[in-house]
């Protein structure tokens, strides 16, 4: 009887260790690829020049015009006015390279969370039913409506049960035609509600064809919520 109790108790411990619950106290975290000397970025981090200027088409009260974005400060000051670039490929490059700028902006005003329901290591959280359907790439209005349905998860959207870990600890999920990557960039309390949030670079790509996309995704979970959900980035950056 004692041996049976021990097996049951050990099973409970092992299941808890791989659950969505955090395994350690929240801290501010910035990924090494952000190139920060400290977790909280300073003015020099926002002024650090891009390897090459990024051409962007902006639309404001003065009409549409082309500008050159030379650093994250340029991008963040014009983010709401950017409607494209000089070519589709350059716009894809712009979207990818400026994801880190948005992560810097979140970290700049972040605080250490009081509570967390996030896993200590997202590489241990690969079950797709824990993630929101909004992460699955949608290239049509019908697909977007499907992802917005009540009860939809990344599992129902993709038809896949688990993400896999690829080089650099990136989480990957692919179907027969499309795929996505999640790369953790930052952790902290970004909306100042006391609960820990996590910011990822999200990349979508076609397995055949030229479609690519990138954005910053912020996921959180608090209280007795069962699954992760996505926070609106615009609200986080400009509230």
pLDDT of residue 22: 52
Tell me how crowded residue 65 is: count the other CB atoms within 10 A of its CB: 11
Query: What is the DSSP-derived secondary structure letter of residue 123?
Result: G
Q: Contact 44/108 with Cβ under 8 angstroms?
A: no
Residue in the structure block whose two tokens are 């650099």: 168
**In this predicted model, what pLDDT tens digit does every residue of 161-190 receive, in sequence order?**
999 999 999 999 999 999 999 999 999 999
Residues 28, 49: Cα–Cα separation, whole Å: 25
Rounded to 5, what percent of the chain is helix, strand, coil?
A: 35, 30, 35
Residues 131, 202: Cα–Cα separation, whole Å: 13
Residues 60, 81: Cα–Cα separation, whole Å: 6
Tell me how crowded residue 190 is: count the other CB atoms within 10 A of its CB: 26
CA-derived radius of gyration, the chain = 20
**Assigned token pair, 29:** 């975290």
Q: Does residue 228 register a pLDDT over 80? A: yes
pLDDT of residue 20: 55
Give bridge partners of residue 83 from the DSSP assignment: none
Q: Does residue 224 register a pLDDT over 90? A: no
What mean pLDDT comes out for the span 5-21? 41
Q: Does residue 8 register a pLDDT over 70? A: no
Q: Is residue 18 very low, low, confident or very high in pLDDT (cuts 50, 70, 90)?
A: very low
Q: Is the dihedral of CA 189, 218, 170, 225 positive or negative?
A: positive
**In this predicted model, what pLDDT tens digit does every residue of 53-109 receive, in sequence order?**
999 999 998 899 999 999 999 999 999 999 999 999 999 999 999 999 999 999 999
Question: What is this structure's pTM?
Answer: 0.88
Q: Does residue 1 register a pLDDT over 70? A: no
Residues 177, 137: Cα–Cα separation, whole Å: 11
């Amino acid at each position: 009887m004692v041996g049976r109790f021990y097996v049951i108790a050990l099973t409970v411990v092992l299941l808890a260790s791989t659950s969505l619950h955090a395994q350690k106290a929240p801290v501010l975290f910035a990924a090494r690829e952000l190139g920060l000397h400290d977790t909280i970025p300073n003015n020099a981090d926002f002024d650090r020049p891009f390897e090459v200027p990024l051409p962007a088409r902006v639309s404001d009260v003065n009409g549409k015009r082309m500008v050159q974005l030379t650093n994250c400060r340029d991008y963040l000051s014009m983010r709401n006015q950017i409607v494209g670039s000089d070519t589709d490929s350059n716009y894809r490059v712009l979207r990818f390279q400026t994801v880190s700028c948005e992560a810097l902006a979140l970290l700049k005003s972040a605080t250490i969370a009081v509570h967390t329901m996030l896993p200590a290591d997202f590489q241990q959280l690969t079950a797709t039913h824990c993630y929101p359907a909004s992460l699955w790439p949608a290239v049509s209005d019908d697909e977007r409506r499907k992802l917005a349905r009540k009860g939809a998860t990344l599992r129902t959207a993709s038809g896949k049960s688990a993400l896999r870990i690829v080089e650099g600890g990136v989480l990957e999920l692919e179907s027969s035609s499309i795929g996505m990557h999640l790369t953790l960039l930052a952790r902290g309390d970004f909306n100042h509600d006391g609960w820990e949030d996590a910011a990822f670079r999200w990349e979508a790509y076609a397995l055949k064809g030229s479609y690519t996309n990138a954005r910053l995704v912020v996921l959180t979970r608090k209280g007795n919520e069962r699954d992760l959900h996505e926070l609106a980035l615009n609200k986080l950056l400009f509230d």
